[in-house]
């Protein structure tokens, strides 16, 4: 396997960010769950570790001082904690930090719910009022972009679960489990993401 050299990565990273592929954040290890009812109510939680790509890259290359890192950490903390849905934030090291984020509400009113926000979309729920359909999807990355992140030393693994009693139209879940204690219509759709090259989670359901 050919390894990307540092000078090449230096030029590829700004390109990826400019394309909006990675934004600033990449969830590297996580546990996430979304529940959506036929009435349109949702609950969404994310618990895991996230990397700030540019910060990780500069620290890996030795291009950032300890003081600059401290300043950037404070910016990241402010970015997340000003969202009242962030329950916990803790910086770990080398551009990685831990976040617990939880949100719930009425999807018929909200229309779109995104973790973390629209320009930093890691996982999103969207509702189309005309079709009555809901889609849950992770951020899509092209294989070349995944390869670049992998060569940088960044990975992606975790589990996403979607619980619903709606009519599921399409999905690419790894596993489906019935939930008889919740009711005959309830199913749990599970994605086991083992590495950055695994498929992007996607599920489409109808509320009516």
Average pLDDT, the chain: 89
Band (93; pLDDT cuts 50, 70, 90):
very high
Domain boundaries, the chain: 7-13+25-206
pLDDT (tens digit per residue) in 158-176: 999 999 999 999 999 999 9
Rounded Cα–Cα distance for residues 56 and 53 (Å) = 5
Task: Please state the three-class secondary structure of the chain as a single string.
Answer: CCCCCHHHHHHHHHHHHHCCCCCCEEEEEEEEEEEECCCCEEEEEEEEEEEEHHHHHHHHHCCCCHHHHHHHHHHHHHHHHCCCCEEEEEEEECCEEEEEEEEEEEHHHHCEEEECCHHHCCEEEEEECCCCEEEEEECCCCHHHHHHHHHHCCCCEEEEEEEECCEEEEECCCEEEECCCCCCCCEEEEEEECCCCCCCCEEEEECC
**Single pTM value for the model:** 0.86
Task: Please state at what angle helix 6-18 crosses helix 53-61, rounded to 10 degrees.
Answer: 160
Antiparallel, parallel or unpaired: β 202-206 and 187-193 = unpaired
Portion of the chain with pLDDT greater than 90, in percent: 83
pLDDT of residue 23: 60
pLDDT digits (tens, 9 = 90+) for 14-71: 433 333 444 699 999 999 999 999 999 999 999 999 999 999 999 999 999 999 999 9
Mean pLDDT of 189-193: 98
Q: Contact, 29 vs 92, CB < 8 A?
A: no
- For the segment 81-86, the average pLDDT, to the nearest whole number, is 96
In the predicted structure, residue 153 carries a pLDDT above the cut 90: yes
């Amino acid at each position: 396997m050919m390894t990307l050299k540092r000078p090449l990565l230096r030029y590829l990273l700004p390109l990826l960010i400019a394309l909006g592929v990675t934004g600033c954040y990449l969830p590297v290890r996580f546990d996430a769950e979304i529940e959506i009812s036929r009435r349109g109510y949702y609950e969404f939680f994310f618990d895991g570790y996230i990397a700030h790509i540019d910060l990780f890259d500069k620290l890996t290359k030795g291009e950032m001082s300890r003081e600059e890192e401290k300043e950037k950490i404070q910016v990241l903390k402010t970015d997340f904690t000003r969202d009242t849905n962030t329950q916990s934030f803790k910086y770990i090291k080398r551009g990685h930090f831990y976040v617990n984020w939880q949100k719930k509400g009425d999807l018929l009113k909200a229309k779109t719910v995104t973790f973390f926000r629209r320009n930093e979309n890691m996982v999103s729920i969207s509702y189309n009022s005309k079709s009555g359909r809901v889609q849950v999807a992770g951020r899509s990355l092209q294989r070349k972009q995944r390869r670049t992140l992998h060569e940088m030393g960044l990975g992606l693994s975790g589990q996403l679960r979607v619980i619903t009693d709606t009519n599921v139209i399409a999905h690419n879940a790894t596993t489906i489990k019935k939930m008889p204690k919740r009711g005959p219509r309830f199913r749990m759709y599970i994605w086991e993401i083992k590495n950055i090259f695994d498929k992007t989670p996607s599920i489409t359901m109808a509320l009516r």
